[in-house]
Amino acid sequence: MNSTAGISFIADMHTHTLASTHAYSTITENAAWCSEHGIKYLGMTDHGIAMQDSPDTWHFENLRILPEYLKGVRVFKGIEADILSVSGELDIPRGMESVYYSILEWVNVSMHVQTFAPSSKRDHTKAYLNVLKNRFVDVISHSESPKFDYDYDAVTKACAEYGRLIEVNVCRIERGEIQTERYKRILECCEKHGTRIIVSSDAHFYTHIGAFDPAKKLLEEIEFPEELVINSSEERFLGYINERNERIGKNV
């Protein structure tokens, strides 16, 4: 296996715009920054409606008006959806699922204390395993939180089996040693099961997009195999997009 020494990235698929009210940049500013810094693919993934700072449902229903490309950057219409329960329910309005999923091109799923009261390791594991049954889900995001402990081995194995991704979140690595050490354990399980990962900034201001050095340092330190990092290669990234389209039954 090739190590991640010298790795570079072509996509950042977890970013926010000022539609999430604790973020501060427009989608145009985000795309312009990507264009200037070699990021070819950008996920516009504002918070789902259960979060206190989320945009209105209209934000997601109207994403269809956005062009595919801004400043030469392919912009994916996405969401950071909240896991609401052990059953894997997401904060996508009931009765509106078909509308949302016909528009959304990328779905990150996360646990936040505002929308999922921390419970037991068993419950958190069940929630992740159940949400993976949703064919539209792409990524389990920032799952290193000590508040939401889970069975890393079981969930990373399920991600590999379902063809989904585990995120390495730069914002969370920057919080400190506890998060970094938990990511090491998650990544060990990913390597064991051949689970693919994606490195994301979780940027809330445009200058943070693609600022992946903390994650790159971590991957190099543990000699994580680059072939499991989908956004370090255009071929791997577009290969995943093709897989996704087949999974959801989208004609390309």
* The predicted structure's pLDDT at residue 241: 98
- Domain boundary assignment for the chain: 11-248
Using 50, 70 and 90 to split pLDDT, how confident is the model at 179? very high
Q: What pLDDT is attached to residue 5?
A: 59
1, pLDDT greater than 90:
no
Instruction: Identify whether the C-beta of residue 202 lies closer than 8 Å to the C-beta of residue 142.
Output: yes
Nearest to 84, CA basis, from 94, 73, 99: 94
pLDDT tens-place string over residues 222-251? 999 999 999 999 999 999 999 999 999 986
pLDDT above 90 (res 119): yes
CA–CA gap between residue 118 and residue 65 (Å, rounded): 37
**What confidence tens digit (pLDDT) does each residue in 63-112 have?**
999 999 999 999 999 999 999 999 999 999 999 999 999 999 999 999 99
Give the pLDDT score at 71: 97
Beta strands in 139-249 (DSSP E): 139-140, 165-169, 197-200
Mean pLDDT of 192-202: 98
Instruction: Give CA–CA dist 53/91, Å, rounded.
Output: 13
Contact 165, 196 (CB under 8 A): yes
pLDDT at 233: 97
CATH 3.20.20.140, applies to 11-248: yes
- Asked if 171 and 201 count as a contact pair (C-beta separation under 8 A), the reply is yes
Greatest pairwise CA separation for the chain in angstroms: 47
Proportion of the chain in helix, strand, coil states, percent, rounded to 5: 40, 15, 40
In the chain, DSSP finds a helix count (H) and a strand count (E) of 9, 8
Would you state the structure tokens that stand for residue 78, as one six-digit string?
């996405």
Confidence at residue 3, expressed as pLDDT on a 0 to 100 scale: 56
Cross-strand partners of 109: 81, 140
How far is 93 from 98, CA to CA, in rounded Å?
10
pLDDT greater than 70 at residue 126: yes
pLDDT higher than threshold 70 for residue 120: yes
Confidence tier at 7 by pLDDT (50, 70, 90) = confident
Mean pLDDT of 108-122: 97
CA–CA gap between residue 179 and residue 164 (Å, rounded): 22
Q: What is the pLDDT of residues 28-58, one digit of tens each?
A: 999 999 999 999 999 999 999 999 989 999 9
Q: What is the pLDDT of residue 198?
A: 98
pLDDT of residue 250: 85
Asked if pLDDT for residue 167 goes beyond 80, the answer is yes
60: phi then psi, degrees, rounded to nearest 5: -75, -40
Residue 215 has pLDDT above 60, yes or no: yes
Percentage of residues in the chain with pLDDT exceeding 70? 97
